[in-house]
Structure 1
């Protein structure tokens, strides 16, 4: 998954996937853990499947 446009999408991508970046001041590498902003729980997936199947049964 990629994010496009400006600074905010880059920040979101780093948080979503847990990426490494260089500090602007001293150039040191910083490893960020993944902190997903987007995602589905098991309950979400089940609900989505039920909605889709109900729609297809019409």
Structure 2
């Protein structure tokens, strides 16, 4: 759960970076921040859904 929260915070920081760099018209940085936002956001949401549906994080070895 901590991992998904860290990725979600990273995605939110990327969203802030997108807005900030759009104001500066630095489109190269907007591209990298956009890609990072999509990747970190997707993995955060997928991890949270996995935790909710399976009742835990990664499978454990028995």
Q: Please report the TM-score for the alignment, with normalisation by the length of structure 2.
A: 0.29
Relative contact order, higher structure (CA 8 A, sep 6+): 2
Higher alpha-carbon Rg: 1
More strand by share: 1
Q: Please report the TM-score for the alignment, with normalisation by the length of structure 1.
A: 0.30
More helix by share: 2
